[in-house]
Amino acid sequence: MVEYETLRLDTVFHALGDATRRRMLRELADGERTVGQLAEPFAISLAAASKHIKVLENAGLIRREIRGRTHFCRLDPGPLASAHQWLGFYERFWTDRLDVLERLLREEDTRKTPTPKGDDR
């Protein structure tokens, strides 16, 4: 089970590692698109767009449906939840570290701030 989850995460992060695929996913977040519509904003052929779409499909991030001769794609956000969960660990890690840093910096500022003369603190 662990190997499957690792492989799935690897596939998702590989798919997300390309700016073209990330932009395609962003477009699909607004609704279903054809392969031609997904390729349109880029200076790429339909064949190149199709290769990007296959990577996204293999990662489970999109679903393709064929209606007649037209291929329609839609976002399947499920695998993004696994990636988000994995990243959540590091978010907590860095938040904890930054909280410690903030506390240390405040303590240092407090030590460096001179007490005015005549102040009985």
Confidence of residue 13 (pLDDT cuts 50, 70, 90): very high
For residue 35, which amino acid is it? V
Of 30, 21, 39, 33, nearest to 79 (Cα)? 21
CA distance 92 to 99: 10
| pLDDT for residue 57 | 96
Of 47-51, 54-58, 67-71, 115-119, the least confident:
115-119
Q: Sheet holding 70-75: strands in order across?
A: 33-34, 70-75, 62-67
* pLDDT of 70 higher than 90: yes
CA distance 5 to 12: 10
Confidence of residue 115 (pLDDT cuts 50, 70, 90): low
| pLDDT for residue 19 | 96
| Verdict on whether the full-model pTM lies above 0.75 | no
